[in-house]
Amino acid sequence: MRIVLSNSARKKMKNKINIKDLGLVDYKQTWDLQESILKTSVNNKLKNKEAENIFLLCEHPHVYTLGKSGTQNNLLISDEFLKKINATYHKINRGGDITYHGPGQIVGYPIIDLDSINIGVKEYVYKLEQVIINVLKKYKIESTRLDGATGVWLDTDKPSVRKICAIGIKVSRGVTMHGFAFNVNTDLEYFNYINPCGFVDKGVTTLSKELSKDILSIGEIKSQIIGEFKKEFGY
């Protein structure tokens, strides 16, 4: 028996997202998981089936990742030093340059079909940025975008301009992967070993530093992100 879904039922399916908190997890393992989910979603689209929208949240052990448009020279340390600081390094298939992931940083990987929510890539990135901007407002921190760069920034009109959230994505047949990295309790020392996102004249900060607190609840802030993500994207 063939089941035909009503338009309202289809709309409900499109407005649902499966959110998974992976905790602290190896970068390559999560990258492979994203690739697997994206492949399934794209195959479903090609067969005119619904693509499941999934939002992965996690932290990673110390790792540097270089986007396909990045420059190797923006990694400022040797392989030997990478081992010394217990970090790994991967060249990956997202846009953007080099960035750092580590404990205390909330990383979000939305794997969603942009066609299902009727937005393009530019609007998608804008909405991702807005999610973090809205979260920061809850902590009375004003943030914004920076012309010519993705991500979320503080004090863009001052010499002290600094990034608090990096964004780098890949889109295949309208399905996204990779995402954002929001510095909460991140050890900023690890950013000294790269030119973050290729910049040599801009700083990096964390939410805990901006609030003058030693450590913040990752679980609490993940909940704030999930709430703002659902509101911004209509899930």
Question: What pLDDT is attached to residue 198?
Answer: 56
Rounded-to-integer distance, Cα 26 and Cα 58, Å: 10
Question: What pLDDT is attached to residue 60?
Answer: 98
Question: What pLDDT is attached to residue 5?
Answer: 39
Question: What pLDDT is attached to residue 96?
Answer: 77
Rounded-to-integer distance, Cα 197 and Cα 65, Å: 10
> Rounded to the nearest 5 degrees, what angle is found at the Cα of 27, between the Cα atoms of 128 and 87?
115
DSSP bridge pairs for 152: 165
Which stretches in the chain have pLDDT values below 70?
1-14, 196-201
Q: Where does 47-153 have alpha helices with state H?
A: 79-84, 121-138
What is this structure's pTM?
0.90
Read off the pLDDT of residues 92-124 as tens digits, 9 standing for 90 and up: 888 778 889 999 999 999 999 999 999 999 999
**Catalytic residues, which ones?**
197
Read off the pLDDT of residues 204-229 as tens digits, 9 standing for 90 and up: 999 999 999 989 999 999 999 999 99
| All structural domains of the chain with their residue ranges | 17-233
Question: What pLDDT is attached to residue 14?
Answer: 61
**Structure tokens belonging to residue 168:** 């780098």
DSSP bridge pairs for 25: none
CATH topology of domain 17-233: BirA Bifunctional Protein; domain 2 (3.30.930)
Q: Nearest-CA neighbor of 112 among 90, 101, 127, 97?
A: 127
The order of strands in the sheet holding 98-101 is 88-91, 63-66, 98-101
Q: Distance of alpha carbon 198 from its chain centroid, rounded?
A: 17
